[in-house]
Structure formats: structure tokens, C-alpha cells
Homo-oligomer: A and B are copies of this chain.
Amino acid sequence: MSKRPHVVIVGAGFGGLGVAEQLAHVPVDVTLIDRHNYHTFQPLLYQVATSLLNAEDVGAPVRSMFRHQENVTFRMATVAGIDVAGREIQLEDGGPVAYDYLVLAGGATVNYFNTPGAAEHAFPLYTLMNAVKLRNHVLERFEAADRDPNLIEGGALNFVIVGAGPTGVETAGALSDLFYNLLPRDYHQLATENARVIIVDLGKEVLAQFKENLRAYAKEELEGRRVELRLGEAVAEVGPTFVRLKSGEEIKTQTLVWAGGVRANPLADMLGLPQGRGGRVKLNADLSTPDRPEIFVVGDMGEVASDGKVLPQLGSVAMQSGEHVGRQIARRLLDEPGQPFKYWDKGFMATIGRGSAVVEFPNKMTLHGPLAYFAWLGVHLALLSGVRNRIETLWNWGWSALTHDRAARIIIDPKDEEAKQVNLHEA
């Protein structure tokens, strides 16, 4: 083994990749650990769930990304525990792995806020497998309703989304495109116009973090696309065939998409260090942890702050905080003092459906409509990892725009009953 300091990064999301890339020319050995062998481009998961993109388009093999960065070793593994005092992490299958510097970049996971039935019945949308499962389920609902139209009465074609933030709004808009523009052409008998898309949110606004004019535009666009809004409402209970709201209203549905809240990856709980809202680890200004200067946290798992203000859990925050921590580790090696993290606000954006999006620039200027939509496409294309995924995604979008078709409309269900494998005796 080399004598160079060993940096262990847990998580190959935007944050973890940022750290590893920043360490390319720094004399350290890096071990990058993730449960999956690919980086998930989370902003496009909703497009996998709605049959617009192939699963493979938003999953980039991590090993390929670091093929030419000799100081990075990838390990597909799940973290079982962290021995903070002993400076090593335990893996479920192998390990332990000792570290000199540890960077936690595990991201966020869904938070059901103890809503009864949610953990059993809701569909989260944080992993590629989540997206594939939701796609299978949505397409199966239409196949089931086609076989037996009585199921429509029972809510088979009602789709409820919790959360009117970007994920909820983007998913609702994409489902609306799918249900009202594409599927009617393929179901010769099914009354697809009976499909419903309903967003439920505790707040009074959709896209609450955007400026007023964009919120108004988004609301109007969603309603024009037949998305029903239940604002100022919360989910009280989820069952296999219904969602009950706090107001008492019961919606018949077999599909609840949970885009309603996140919490830090439970990895954060393993540290035994102080946590803030949503389980996010409290951090120094340079993103190291107060008691353990050799441990850093980036992205959604940490209370990443800039100018004393805790930042929202965004991809751009994860990316920038990862790069910052890479630089801080390099400075430590040279005994240079840590620097406070400073976020470069690039604004934010969300699509509402085909040809419709909202953009809020950091200078508070706003943009909406088709131009905002093309800006959204361009930015996300640029952010995708790898030339290949960019070209494939552009191709899928272009094809879909030209033909109004979606090729990834296939149900590859893990539960898929295989034809019975039979042993046959030849006479």
C-alpha cells in the first residue's frame, strides 16, 4: 500500500463525484464507494418513470468515469457502519476500510413523516430502480384497465402525487403528456380520458420556491394540462387502493408518487454527530464536522451553508460543495487553513410539460414558456455525464418531440412471472 493519505468518499452522486474529480492531481489515494455501480442523474429520473428515457440513459457506470484517473478506486458496496474513533468504515460485504479523510456524500432519501401506509404503498423517486418500478406500475395500470374497464371506477387510472415542488410538478406534467397525448392513440378501446393526475401539497402554492409570476404561470399550465391541484391539503393515510386526505376527502387510487419530502441518508445517523432539520449533519463553514475535522459532509446529507445561510438540497449545491471539499483536502495536505464554502447561485428551473418550463435567474429575472423549456433541456444535457448519455438523451428527446412517441414504454418487471421452465423427457 502507498503511504499517500487515503480519502474515502461514500456516494457517487453529484457531491461525491465533485470531490473525486477535484482530487485528480492531488497526491492522495481515493476510494469511492457506492451501493450501485453507476452514477444516477437524478434530475431526469421522472423521465425514466414516464417512459421518455431508457433506464441506461440516466445511469453512468462509475468505473468508466474514472478510467483515466489513476488515483481513484471504485468499490460497489453498502456501508454498514462508521467507526469514527478508529477512522474506518465497515462494509456489508467486505471491509473494513481505513481512512485519513472521510467524505460523506450519501444524498437524501424519502421522508414519509410517519404517514400511515406510505412506506408500504407509496412510490418514491430517488433511485433508478424507483423510476423503473414506477414506470412498470403506471403502464400496468393501463393494461389492467384495458382488460377490465370496471377497474377505472376503482381508481386504477387515478395518479396522485404528493408534493408541488419541482419533482412533483415535473412528474405530473410528464404523466399528463403520456396519458392525454400518447396513450389514446395506442388504446383503441380504453377510455384514456378518464385518467386523472392529482397533486396534493400542504402549501398554498405550486413551485413555492419560485417567484410569484412563475408560480402563477405554473399553476395555469398544470391546470391547462388537466392536472388537478389539492393545495393546502395533506395526506393522512395511504392504502393499496386509496389516499385519504387530512380534510377527509378520499381519492381512489392505486398509485401514490411521493415527492413530498426528503431526509438525509440514514448514513448521517451513524456518525453520532449533531444533526439539524431532516437529519442533516451540522457542519463547520469549510464543510468539515465540528468534532471530527477529518470528516466532511457534502450535498443533501449536510447542513451546507453559504454566508451563514443553510442552502436548499439542490444538485448544484451538492456539486459545488463536493468540489469545495476536494479543494479543502488538498489544502490540508499543504497545511493551509480551511476556507468557508461559498455557493455560486445559478438560479433554478423546472419543467411543467412539453414546451413549458420556468427559470429563475440569480438576479431574480425570470423566464417561462417554450424558451425556458429549451433552456432547461440545454442545461440538463450539459450536466449529464458523458458524451454518450448526452447524445442518447438528445436523441430520445428529439424523437419524442417529432413523433410524440415514447419508446421506453415497456414493462420489465422483476416480478415478471417467467414461463414455467419445464424439463421434458424425450420418448
Contacts and interface: CB of A to CB of B under 8 A. Distances in A.
A395 B56 CA distance: 14
Nearest to A409: B61
Given A37-B139, A143-B37, A418-B129, A424 B56 contact: no
Interface string A135-166: 00001000110111000000000000000000
A279 B422 CA distance: 10
Contact of A132 (B38, B278, B412): B412
Given A147-B94, A189-B73, A423-B113, A59 B410 contact: yes
Given A421-B109, A421-B110, A36 B414 contact: no
B263 A75 contact: no
Contacts of A115: 423
Given A59-B412, A63-B187, A73-B189, A423 B111 contact: yes
Nearest to A407: B388
B67 A416 contact: no
B421 A188 contact: no
Assembly stoichiometry (copies): 2
A75 B146 contact: yes
Interface string A367-396: 000000000000000000010110110010
A112 interface: yes
A391 B394 CA distance: 13
A126 B147 CA distance: 26
Contact of A73 (B38, B78, B188, B386): B188
A8 to B, nearest CB: 14
Given A421-B119, A424-B111, A186 B73 contact: no
Contacts of A414: 129, 414-415
Contact of A67 (B93, B113, B185): B185
Contacts of A291: none
Interface in A309-357: none
A130 B415 CA distance: 12
Interface in A45-62: 54-57, 59-61
Interface in A6-27: none
Given A188-B73, A388-B399, A410 B113 contact: no
Interface string A225-245: 000000000000000000000
A126 B279 CA distance: 46
Contacts of A55: 54-56, 410, 412
Nearest to A70: B188
Interface residues of A, number: 85
A417 B263 CA distance: 18
A3 interface: no
A25 B99 CA distance: 71
A56 B422 contact: no
A113 B388 contact: no
A411 B37 contact: yes
A109 B423 CA distance: 10
A143 B74 CA distance: 9
A112 B423 contact: yes
A2 interface: no
A114 B421 CA distance: 11
A124 interface: yes
Given A93-B147, A185-B67, A410-B59, A418 B37 contact: no
A167 interface: no
B410 A36 contact: yes
Contacts of A64: 186, 405, 409
A77 interface: yes
9 contacts: A38-B411, A54-B57, A55-B55, A56-B56, A129-B413, A266-B420, A389-B407, A392-B407, A414-B414
| Top-5 shortest CB links A-B | A414-B414, A63-B186, A38-B410, A76-B143, A59-B410
